[in-house]
Amino acid sequence: MPARVAVLGGGVGGTLVANLLDKALGREARVSVIDPTGMHHYQPGYLYVALGQANGRWLVRDERSLLRRDVDLIVDRAIRIHPEAGTVQLEHGASVEWDYLVIATGARLMHDRIPGLVEGAFGFYSLDDAQRLREELRRFRGGRILVGIGGIPYKCPPAPVEFVFMLEEYLRNRGVRDRSSVTLLSPLNRAFTIESASKVIQPILQERGIGLTTFFNVEQVDPAAHTVTSIEGEKAEYDLLVLVPPHQGQPVVIDSDLGDPGGWLPTDRLTLQVKDRDRIFAMGDGTDLPISKSGSTAHFEAPVVASRIASLVRGSAPKTNYGGRVMCFLETGNRKATALRFDYEHPPTPPKPSTVWHAAKWMFNRVYWETVPQGRIPEAPRRHRKGDDHERADRSNARPEGPVVSAADREDGAGDQGTAVRRPDGGTRHRPGIGRRFRGVVHDDRERARGAKRDGRGVPVRDQEEVR
């Protein structure tokens, strides 16, 4: 009888781990994904929606289209997990049995945790919020803009910093920058959660005339007075307030008594097993791990979870561990970006922002749908420096992917060779590898920038419809 594996959540982590398990185990397991909507959102794109560079169509796809054929999709909400019985209770009355469970339910936005936030602030952490903010920014003619964080932890830590950089550029392109001020409200003593990254970020804030107020933990918003108050007793006035809402774990975790008071799952940092639960694994934003809550984290956790479950199904001792690997881009505006690469042992040392890293992020946006959910994780090219311990850590952390993702799959689209893609008429066409496509994006971006400079125009903003 095949092993039964249930995956809660059809986001980045849930989709990827389900496909990797099905690929690795075949008929040895029956893999099911349980998701309340059956729709997959590419959440990093919300930022571009808010700034008018995209509409929401390219951000959402049917989850069924992203899963391998033999993976079952159950569109229903999990409301209770029964670990001893090995079942998941669903909202509409059904129950799903499992031998192994993967909880990839993500984080929940808690707008109502801060009085006045719903009425007095905007955001971009959901598609609806991003669309509302886009319309508000279109009407904006100048004034005081505050961008703050409603609580820690929150997913995608670079996003608020990216937003203020891109917002400043947006205001300049609109011709209202000289009538506007932009200030980042940080709950910490620095601009970013990681100190080494802050040392790169803060000089850029200063250079761009973006204010920074530290130790500002938002307590309440007064929509009538247009003020926001911190727990520390400070009060700031605004004309436009953008806040990242507080985050919490999902109700199914809380109601099943599996999480801490915040609903975060106590997760072993190496094995990704829920503590004291040998057959339950956790990944993504819903864990309590000391690492970023981001899609990138889930990308690198999924092969570890899949490899360990595959070993358990086959009766062997799991040997693959998660080293805390994360890799994400950080937009700094003006068609430049940097990258954050780190793990448990090595903090990030972001390179100088450049057009190359900006192009790499756009490339990732382009290829996400055809790579990440299927288990092909593209990375931008990077220079190797002799003695670079961080680079060695990256390669070391990548080794566990081997047992789950075949060498052929890793090579498909990862380099310059490319692949042959079958046409409906039975013929084939050649699809360039990701390496070649990356260089194409870099070239296109540079040519667009040169053309804008020659013509005396501002650098054009790419229509995100191109990035599909």
- Given a cut of 80, whether residue 456 has pLDDT beyond it is no
Burial 206-243, CB ≥16 within 10 A → b, else e: eebebbbeeebbbbebeeeebbbbbeeeeebebebbbb
- Given a cut of 70, whether residue 255 has pLDDT beyond it is yes
Catalogue all structural domains in the chain, each as residue range(s) with its CATH number: 3-108+248-313 (3.50.50.60), 112-247 (3.50.50.60), 326-451 (no CATH)
Strand 95-97 to 235-237 pairing: unpaired
Stretch 241-268: mean pLDDT, rounded? 97
- Predicted TM-score (pTM) of this structure: 0.81
The owner of tokens 């409603």 is 150
Stretch 318-346: mean pLDDT, rounded? 95
Strand 78-82 to 235-237 pairing: unpaired
- Given a cut of 60, whether residue 444 has pLDDT beyond it is no
Chain CA centroid to CA 424, Å: 34
Stretch 390-410: mean pLDDT, rounded? 34
> Which neighbouring-strand residues pair with 337?
331, 354
> Which neighbouring-strand residues pair with 81?
88
Residue 372, Cβ density class (10 Å: 0-12 exposed, 13-18 middle, ≥19 buried): buried
First and final C-alpha spacing in the chain: 41
Q: Write out the two tokens for 17.
A: 């781990």
Distance, in Å, from the CA atom of 276 to the CA atom of 231, rounded to the nearest integer, reads: 36
pLDDT in tens, 114-139: 999 999 999 999 999 999 999 999 99
pLDDT in tens, 426-438: 444 444 444 454 4
394 and 380 in contact (C-beta within 8 Å)? no
Planar angle of CA 317, 104, 191, nearest 5 degrees: 110
Strand 419-422 to 227-230 pairing: unpaired
Distance, in Å, from the CA atom of 150 to the CA atom of 111, rounded to the nearest integer, reads: 9
The owner of tokens 């086959």 is 314
pLDDT given for residue 447 in this prediction: 54
Q: Which one, of 356, 338, 337, 332, lies nearest residue 207 by Cα?
A: 332
CB neighbour list of residue 232: distance below 8 Å, 6 or more residues apart: 215, 216, 217
The owner of tokens 């095949």 is 2
Write down how long the chain is.
Answer: 468
pLDDT given for residue 378 in this prediction: 52
pLDDT given for residue 374 in this prediction: 81
> DSSP character for 40?
E
pLDDT given for residue 435 in this prediction: 47
CB neighbour list of residue 106: distance below 8 Å, 6 or more residues apart: 9, 11, 13, 155, 250, 284, 285, 286
Query: Crossing angle, helix 12-25 and helix 295-313, to 10 degrees?
Result: 30
- Given a cut of 50, whether residue 109 has pLDDT beyond it is yes
Report the run of H or E that residue 32 belongs to, with start and end.
Answer: strand 29-35
pLDDT in tens, 304-328: 999 999 999 999 999 999 999 999 9
The torsion defined by the Cα of 49, 52, 55 and 61, in degrees rounded to 10, comes to -30
- Given a cut of 80, whether residue 467 has pLDDT beyond it is no
**Mean pLDDT, the chain, integer:** 85
pLDDT given for residue 91 in this prediction: 97
393 and 346 in contact (C-beta within 8 Å)? yes
pLDDT in tens, 12-48: 999 999 999 999 999 999 999 999 999 999 999 999 9
Rounded to the nearest 5°, which phi and psi values hold at 149?
-120, 125
pLDDT given for residue 414 in this prediction: 31
> DSSP character for 261?
T
pLDDT in tens, 143-164: 999 999 999 999 999 999 999 9
Stretch 278-306: mean pLDDT, rounded? 95
pLDDT in tens, 58-82: 899 999 999 999 999 999 999 999 9
Q: Write out the two tokens for 423.
A: 């046409």
pLDDT given for residue 440 in this prediction: 52
Confidence of residue 458 (pLDDT cuts 50, 70, 90): very low
- Given a cut of 50, whether residue 300 has pLDDT beyond it is yes
pLDDT given for residue 57 in this prediction: 84
Residue 424, Cβ density class (10 Å: 0-12 exposed, 13-18 middle, ≥19 buried): exposed
Strand 95-97 to 87-90 pairing: antiparallel
CB neighbour list of residue 2: distance below 8 Å, 6 or more residues apart: 25, 27, 28, 29, 30
Planar angle of CA 72, 74, 78, nearest 5 degrees: 130
Q: Which one, of 367, 369, 330, 366, lies nearest residue 350 by Cα?
A: 330
CB atoms inside a 10 Å sphere around CB 352: 9
pLDDT given for residue 42 in this prediction: 95
Cα dist from 28 to 68, 85, 312, whole Å? 15, 21, 11
